[in-house]
Structure 1
């Protein structure tokens, strides 16, 4: 079975690696994909670890996990990646995350901002255009 993030590798070969190493990814896209898989699996600790300290919603962790478990995740669709490579310090990833909520299909469309500090990528939040 393909990884939850849409990669053709298995979860064990793909996002689980990052879930077990505290999010040490080479690119912003890898972090974005692993965070999507963490939402699918409701891994709140991982979502907090990989969210930059300046924007981390620690007080909302329980609510985020509860919501992630309450929906049925369908798929991740990557639309655009700008920078965010191993040589970069910043990057953005634009995506659609499809899910069912109470039987209705919905989508999260976001352009996410990422920053690399101490050789580790972090999710900052919505990117400003």
Structure 2
């Protein structure tokens, strides 16, 4: 069984797919974060767009989401910290790093995301810091462990070309 892209030890069908298809609603802010990351991985642009609070969506467009989703190879989601965001909360914060490859470079997106419940459903609201940082990772050697956490060498995993 291949694990869900969100990192949980469940299959995509058992984990994030029901959220993305609208069959289930994420119970926690972290579940919403994981399902949004997975939607980026599998190219479900509508889900990413529709789970962004319309009041804070601003100029975000589906084309922008689609471009980032398709132009990157998503490798791993790392949840760093979750503050509140439980079933009985109305707001929560999820800090994460999303690792990806773009044009042969391994990068990560690090953010503290604010989620709010709107009409009983979790929505991405904003990032806590004013700057969303996309940082270049240290250059990974071909024989170094792969940053995706597979335990394989980079050249035998995400570094295969």
TM range (shorter): over 0.9
- Whether contact under 8 Å (1:42, 1:68) holds in the other structure is yes
CA distance in 1, matches of 2:116, 2:23: 16
CA distance in 2, matches of 1:114, 1:126: 9
Q: 1:11 to 1:45 in 2, by over 3 A?
A: same
More strand by share: 1
Residues 1-129 of structure 1 mapped to structure 2, 5 A cutoff: 1-21=2-22, 24-57=25-58, 59-128=60-129
Counterpart of 1:39 in 2: which secondary structure?
A: helix
Root-mean-square deviation (CA, aligned residues, Å) is 1.6
Cα distance, 1:119 vs structure 2:
1.1
Cα distance, 1:72 vs structure 2:
0.5
Runs in 1 of length 4+ with deviation above 6 angstroms? none
* Higher relative contact order (CA closer than 8 Å, sequence separation 6+): 1
Cα distance, 1:22 vs structure 2:
7.0
More helix by share: 1
Counterpart of 1:2 in 2: which secondary structure?
A: coil
The count of corresponding residues between Structure 1 and Structure 2 is 129
Cα distance, 1:127 vs structure 2:
1.8
Gaps of 5+ in 1: none
Cα distance, 1:81 vs structure 2:
0.1
1:27-76 CA-to-partner distances (Å, cap 9, x unmatched) read 00000000000010121100111000111256521122022111111000
TM-score normalised by the chain length of structure 1: 0.94
TM-score normalised by the chain length of structure 2: 0.76
Q: Which moved more, 1:20-29 or 1:99-108?
A: 20-29
Counterpart of 1:123 in 2: which secondary structure?
A: strand
